[in-house]
Amino acid sequence: MEMTHVTHGFPPVFDEKSKILILGSMPSVKSREVSFYYGHPQNRFWRVLSAVLGEEIPPDIPAKREILLRRGVALWDVIAECDITGSSDSSIRNVVPNDLSLIISAAHISAIFTNGSAATSIYKKYQLPQTGIPSVPLPSTSPANAAWSLDRLIKAWSVIVR
């Protein structure tokens, strides 16, 4: 696979009632195809979030959006555009960060959580100086993070409801 320049391509999910913000790095190839977050069936994000929130796993994009908004969860990514090989976070280069003020100015965000080490490091470098809100790093829900079982991820991610 060769490196390509990719633009994020779909908007964040949030409203004025959003209280927490979960940030990924850049949507995977599959997520970009379906134009929504964590679209790869092997990504455990929706299983983890549903378990942590005590919700049924949402079957489609409208149901995913509804759970996020009803539960006060904003969802976006730290990267607006970058060079990337496939879906590999480790290949990311030439980052153009998203402007999180879009969400921060419209909602009362009390906590920011980053999904995986790439999102965490990019947030610290580009967005923390603007937001002033330290992020809470969480283990990646990506299938590439095979060292973490679903149960272990759910335990770590339960911090979002505390």
Residue from 43, 98, 115, 145 carrying the catalytic annotation: 43
Cα separation, 135 vs 54, in Å, equals 23
| DSSP line for 93-122 | EEEEE--THHHHTTS---EEEEESHHHHHH
Backbone angles phi and psi of 19, in degrees to 5 = -115, -30
Backbone angles phi and psi of 37, in degrees to 5 = -70, 140
C-beta of residue 114 within 8 angstroms of C-beta of residue 137: yes
Q: Is 145 labeled as catalytic in the residue annotation? A: no
Alpha helix (H) ranges present in 1-149?
Answer: 29-34, 45-53, 61-70, 101-104, 117-122, 128-131
Cα separation, 58 vs 47, in Å, equals 9
Residues recognised as catalytic: 43
